[in-house]
Amino acid sequence: MKILVCISHVPDTTSKINFSEGDTKFDTAGVQFVINPNDEFGLTRAMWFKEKQGATVDVVNVGGAETEPTLRKALAIGADNAIRVNTPATDGIYVAKQIAKVAKDGGYDLILAGRESIDYNGGMVPGMVAGLIDANFVNTCIGLEVDGTEATVIREIDGGKETLKTSLPLVVGAQKGIVQESDLRIPNMRGIMQARKKPLNVVEPVEAGSYSNAVKFEKPQPKGDIKLIDPDNLDELINLLHNEAKVI
């Protein structure tokens, strides 16, 4: 089984976010980048298939040379090969078309992507990739087993979960539950040294137009002052909630 794992290069959630050029560009200065958490859950599941079923695991990212350390981390975790599409990730459909070309050329059986990235939270790419390569698609995946060309997938739905059976090729939008946080792997020294020797192939993008662009960014308003109310003074609390906060 050939597996392709889509890797987004995203800011660590602890990073301080700023914008430049009149709030039209994201300022990357001083920002630590990591593997998108939902992608890392998918990568960890792919490693299980590699170890238990002999699958080969490639990772792909759409981005410039600055994303290569993130791909190297994926290789250190255990992926066999990395592919970087040499173009900025502009919008969802543009990224999906680049990944779809890699997927078609590689003849992959299973494509694992996070259900969404934690920077833009678009949640569009996995489904569009599936449409572009005419593969089955299951989103919000919290369980995945593959037997031959058949897959059993558990996905999260409102108020519960749903178990599906489908066939390969398959695109999965992964999230926490497909593996647990305790299953995530920290690269060890041996893995880091091996990653330096593993292939990281740079391919040029296909012609594909973007359908949207960021016009301006805006930070949330800072939190206002906090008023502490004595727990015995419920009348004052109700008065403030009603007349000042206007939430009741």
Q: Give the pLDDT confidence score for residue 221 in this predicted structure.
A: 85
- CA contacts within 13 A on the Cβ side of 212: 9
Q: What is the mean pLDDT, run by run of 10 residues, along the chain of 248 residues?
A: 97 91 91 96 98 97 97 97 96 96 97 94 95 97 97 96 97 97 93 93 93 88 85 90 88
Let me know the angle formed at the C-alpha of 168 by 114 and 60, rounded to the nearest 5 degrees. 40
What span, in angstroms and rounded, lies between the C-alpha atoms of 134 and 127?
Answer: 10
What span, in angstroms and rounded, lies between the C-alpha atoms of 248 and 230?
Answer: 19
The full length of the chain comes to 248
Q: Where are the domains of the chain?
A: 2-220
Q: Alpha carbon of 110 to those of 42, 56, 125, 226: distances in Å?
A: 11, 10, 15, 50
CATH of 2-220, one of 3.40.50.620, 1.10.150.20, 3.30.40.10, 2.60.120.10: 3.40.50.620
Classify 68 as helix, strand or coil. Answer: helix
Q: Give the pLDDT confidence score for residue 76 in this predicted structure.
A: 97
